[in-house]
Amino acid sequence: MDQPRLTRWTGFAGSLLLAVSAWLGGALPDASLRTNPVKIWQGPNGPLLLSLWLVGTALLVWAWWRLRNEVPSARWVLLTVALWVLPMLFAAPFGSRDVYAYSCQGASFAAGISPYEQGVSALPCPWLDTISYIWRDTPAPYGPLFVVIAGAVVKATGSLTASIVVFRALALGGVVLTAYALPALARRCGVPPARALWLALACPLVAMHVIGGPHNDGLMVGVLVAGLAVVASRPGRRWPLLGGGVLLGLACAIKMTAVVVVPFAALAAIAGAFSIRSLIRDGGWVVGGAVATVVGVTYAGGLDFGWVGGLSEGGVAVAWTSPPTAVGQTVGQVARLFGWHVDALPVTRGIAVVLLAVLLVLLWFRAVRRPDPMYHAGLALALTVVLSPVVHPWYWIWPLTVLAATAPLRQQWYLVVALVSSFLILPDGTGLARYTKTPGAQLMTLLMIWTVVRLVRSARAERTPAPVD
């Protein structure tokens, strides 16, 4: 068997094992069953469940990594991705209970209650027992479009199982939209489309979490990439740029984190050299379309901007996968060695928010001087994930997809992050980071220090003029 065929069927075997592990012990509806890795091991089918998860993940990761630099064709990639996704389409929810929150928030909205003003316990949601206690009284962090969609799904189905099926179909639709739009963006950025498709869609996080979850990140990324592709393909053309802005606005209305790419899309919209006048003339259509769409969807749905407060609610989760959280944990652990009790998390997370704002501005000005604003859009998404107070593995789908189509071919750091992230969540949603605070937090802190030193040296090297003979 030749190497590509072996890779294809190895990945399929991995996905099949993961689907079986989901049925044996995935994120099933009963939220009262609090678990940890030890309880899972000691529970029914524990050793088999964990073995299937570990081997399945390893096979899927190996297959993806094996062909990261060369794939036969775009058609071959799409057929392979479809094969890998297929088992997870029929699996129980995998790695997260978010889909139950989607259903309950949709039920609240369908009943006339804004999920931005009250938690799902206010309905009460008919499936309230599926949601963990800490999320029952928190406002929804999702954009207005997704709240409206969730309400329509629940109203149309009236069933938790049917709602999960529809949410998974929406996630699949996002993957299909990405498959359609990503080649256009890749060609515009000088990246082979087949390679971009492989890195973005064959990534294990897609089958495991976007489809297996399922998560609305897949739908958001699909619309986002479509908007970027339209803008990149039609710089200086008013109506296409407006359409691209509308698509970006729809992505923001699903998950507001997509907003960080809009300023970079405005740069990509410019035909010719950069100037303030050209930015307003061309980029204004993108920004205007995005803002008008978010505002229009919000008020058309009878909602407000309460999702702003909901964005901070995720901070109740504490895991070293978020670098600001890891640094805060490390500071607290070091302080305890000297008998001090310091809660550094609010400080480190607050500093990260300010730092993110500063870095995004600096990154935008850097993009002004470069010919690759779409690549900088991918970096902006990566910074947003890195400096978030909570980082779930599927968040890396955002920058991974954009960078797959825009980053220089030699760059592979974002692939390593996705690879490691694939091993951090068990099928029932148990995050291994919660149980590895030591040495996880310390190692992440050291990694951040090393990364900052490397970036500072790189920036200095860029500013140092080359010697003249």
pLDDT the model gives residue 404:
97
ω into residue 439 within 30 of 0, thus cis? yes
* Mean predicted confidence (pLDDT) in 394-421: 94
Q: What is the pLDDT of residue 132?
A: 79
Classify residue 124 by its DSSP letter: T
Residue pointed to by tokens 């030890």: 38
Among 112-126, 241-255, 413-427, where is mean pLDDT lowest? 112-126
**Which residue from 431, 394, 427, 422 is spatially nearest to 26, judged by alpha carbons?**
427
**pLDDT tens-place string over residues 421-466:** 999 999 999 989 888 888 899 999 999 999 889 888 877 776 666 5
pLDDT digits (tens, 9 = 90+) for 93-104: 999 999 999 999
Tens digit of pLDDT for each residue in 21-72? 999 999 988 755 567 888 888 888 889 999 999 999 999 999 999 999 889 9
Is the predicted pLDDT of residue 124 greater than 80, yes or no? no
Q: Quick one: pLDDT band at residue 312, thresholds 50, 70, 90?
A: low
Name which of 84-93, 114-123, 146-155, 357-366 the model is least confident about: 114-123
Count other C-beta atoms under 10 Å from residue 413's C-beta. Answer: 10
Query: What is d(CA 236, CA 280) in angstroms, rounded to the nearest whole number?
Result: 11
Cα dist from 316 to 29, 272, 311, 313, 390, whole Å: 22, 47, 11, 6, 9
Is the pLDDT confidence value at 171 over 70? Answer: yes
| pLDDT score for 466 | 53
Mean pLDDT computed over 120-141:
82
Mean pLDDT lowest among 29-33, 175-179, 250-254:
29-33
Q: Which two tokens stand for residue 393?
A: 């593995």
Q: Cα(29)–Cα(124) distance, rounded to whole angstroms?
A: 16
Residue 139 above 90 pLDDT? no
> Position of tokens 């809009």?
262
225-264 residues labelled b (16+ CB within 10 A) or e (exposed)? bbbbbbbbbbbebeebbbbbbbbbbbbbbbbbbbbbbbbb
CA 17 to chain centre: 24
Average pLDDT over residues 5-24: 95
CB count, 10 Å around CB of 386? 21
The pLDDT tens digits of the residues spanning 152-164 come to 999 999 999 999 9
pTM of this prediction exceeds 0.85: yes
3-state SS class at 340: coil
Nearest 5°: the CA angle 350, 394, 69 is: 115
Q: Is it true that the peptide bond before 214 is cis, omega within 30 degrees of 0?
A: yes
The terminus-to-terminus CA distance of the chain in angstroms comes to 55
DSSP state string for 421-448 = HTTSB-TTS-BGGGG-HHHHHHHHHHHH
Structure tokens at 280: 């307003």
* pLDDT above 80 for 314: no
What's the token pair of residue 258?
Answer: 């997509």
For the stretch 210-239, pLDDT in tens is 999 999 999 999 999 999 999 999 999 999
CB 280 within 8 A of CB 286: no
Average pLDDT of every residue of the chain: 91
Nearest CA-CA partner of 195 in 206, 205, 185: 185
Q: Give just the sign of the alpha carbon dihedral 229, 230, 236, 242.
A: negative
Average pLDDT, stretch 254-283? 95
Mean pLDDT of the region 338-356: 91
pLDDT at 467: 57
Higher pLDDT, 399 or 119: 399
